[in-house]
Amino acid sequence: MQTSSLDYVSPEAASAPAPDRSVSASSKDGGTPMTKDLEIRLFDRMAPLEAEWRRLEADPVNSLHQSYDWCFAWDKTHGNPLAIVHGYCNGATAFILPLEIVRHSMVKSAQFIGSRFNNINSGLFSPAFRAGAGASEAAQISQTLTTLLAGKADLVNLTNIPLEWRGERHPLASLPAIENQNHAFQLPLTASFEQTIGQLNAKRRRKKFRSQCRRLESTGGFEHVIASGAREKNRLLDTFFEQKAIRFKALGIPNVFQPPETQAFFRLLLEVDGGSHDTPLEMHAIRLKGELDGKIAAIAGLSRKGDHVICQFGSIDESVAADASPGELLFWLMIERSCEEGAALFDFGLGDQDYKRRWCTVETVQHDILLPVSATGHLAAIAQRGVTRAKAVIKGNPQLYSVIQRLRAHADEVPVRLTGTDD
């Protein structure tokens, strides 16, 4: 077992799970009552922490995107080196930060597992640690993490962290951060769908819903499909990939869903049975009847953890029933169902688009925490902050953003890396 160069006691004295081919560190003396007994370890496998991981992920404040099943599916299909950060304090697990090491050009970044497709990254923190953690704990985590990752990564790149989430301050909120150019959008739900849409322009929404239904009924009708069985789930997922490929090609931007390993990741998520309403991925669709029988007009992939529903992705077939706005109709039906099933928050995810603002009453600002590990990491952090600020300026100027979008639409290839599915 390798120990970091800081002044730490032997980790063998602790009763936490032993790290697997990893490094570990723990405070010796001094600090606050919380920090003096805090031990931080680095694992290169998920399995040793599974039991503690699943216990922490049950907390509704912790993001679905750091759940064991989500991370396992990504790891199995992508196989990047892992750096699972395990914090252990006062006889219990305090936090788990599921990181992978990904190389971008010459820079090795330690980032949240699957971060390209994550909408909100909270990490996994225990309620007790969140309640007591402050600036000193965040500083200790930062210092120890960069020490343990020396030689393994150049930069710790923790993106899309809401500093305030569901009424709580993030334990790492005191660390230097830059606002991410992409915000997330949510609609609070009530037990009554009528009360839920009452937060919006309910009269206009009901009128639009009736109009959408009439247009689809005029061609033979439609049904709201919630895929069941492996065959139907995968068929809808295949259709989504096809629809999204057409859309990305039309925009002239890279198709983030094209890589085989990414498609395999989503297929694995479909196999997970979360029990009850919880699921990492559930396929929804508007399927037409009559003269367009069997055509899929709109598709969405939903995740649910506790009372939080997240729309992971969506697409439409613009060649059929486009005038009926089938995508908007599908959101109506999914939100209505979520209300009936007791969800409290419907999350439209990252990206500032008109339809999200029409549906949502909450806009969540997210931040990126960049912790340089090496000299290369320092330069990469400076560059990333500059790129993020530039993107924010562009997105904050509707006219400029429109010009950029038109240029992208006519470009053969644009060398950009998307964050999530909307950059």
3-state secondary structure string across 304-320: EECCEEEEEEEEECCCC
Of the pLDDT bands very low, low, confident and very high (cuts 50, 70, 90), residue 204 is: confident
Is 69:261 a contact under the CB 8 Å cutoff?
A: no
Of the pLDDT bands very low, low, confident and very high (cuts 50, 70, 90), residue 291 is: confident
Rounded percentage of the chain residues whose pLDDT exceeds 90 = 65
Give the tokens for residue 53.
């991981």
The Cα-based distances of 296 to 114, 235, 251, 266, 271 in angstroms read 28, 11, 21, 19, 22
Give the tokens for residue 179.
């606002």
Give the tokens for residue 213.
């239904």
> What is the pLDDT of the chain when averaged over all its residues?
85
Of the pLDDT bands very low, low, confident and very high (cuts 50, 70, 90), residue 13 is: very low
Q: Please compute the mean of the pLDDT values over residues 345-357 and round it to a whole number.
A: 91
Report the pLDDT value the prediction gives residue 126, as an integer from 0 to 100. 97
| Segment 380-395, tens digit of pLDDT | 878 777 777 776 666 6
| More confident of the two residues 23 and 140 | 140
Report the pLDDT value the prediction gives residue 5, as an integer from 0 to 100. 26
Rounded percentage of the chain residues whose pLDDT exceeds 70 = 83
Report the pLDDT value the prediction gives residue 423, as an integer from 0 to 100. 42
CA–CA gap between residue 161 and residue 123 (Å, rounded): 9
**Cα-based angle 235, 352, 345 (whole degrees, multiple of 5):** 70
Q: Is 119 helix (H, G, I), strand (E, B) or coil?
A: coil
What is the torsion angle, in degrees rounded to the nearest 10, for the CA atoms of residue 375, residue 378, residue 380 and residue 384? 180
The least confident of 64-68, 315-319, 397-401 is 397-401
The least confident of 24-28, 109-113, 123-127 is 24-28
Per-residue pLDDT at 90 exceeds 50: yes
| Segment 246-290, tens digit of pLDDT | 999 988 889 999 999 999 999 999 999 867 778 999 999 999 998
The Cα-based distances of 16 to 13, 41, 143, 225 in angstroms read 9, 10, 21, 46
Q: Is 365 helix (H, G, I), strand (E, B) or coil?
A: coil
- Per DSSP, 67 falls in state S
What the chain holds in terms of domains, given with CATH numbers, is 2-183+365-409 (3.40.630.30), 186-362 (3.40.630.30)
**Cα-based angle 17, 22, 27 (whole degrees, multiple of 5):** 70
Element of type H or E holding 70:
helix 68-78
Using alpha carbons only, how large is the chain's radius of gyration in Å?
23
Q: Please compute the mean of the pLDDT values over residues 321-332 and round it to a whole number.
A: 90
Q: Is 417 helix (H, G, I), strand (E, B) or coil?
A: coil
CA–CA gap between residue 336 and residue 343 (Å, rounded): 10
CA–CA gap between residue 359 and residue 336 (Å, rounded): 13
Of the pLDDT bands very low, low, confident and very high (cuts 50, 70, 90), residue 158 is: very high
Is 113:76 a contact under the CB 8 Å cutoff?
A: no
CA–CA gap between residue 230 and residue 397 (Å, rounded): 44
Start-to-end CA span in the chain (Å): 41
CA–CA gap between residue 325 and residue 228 (Å, rounded): 25
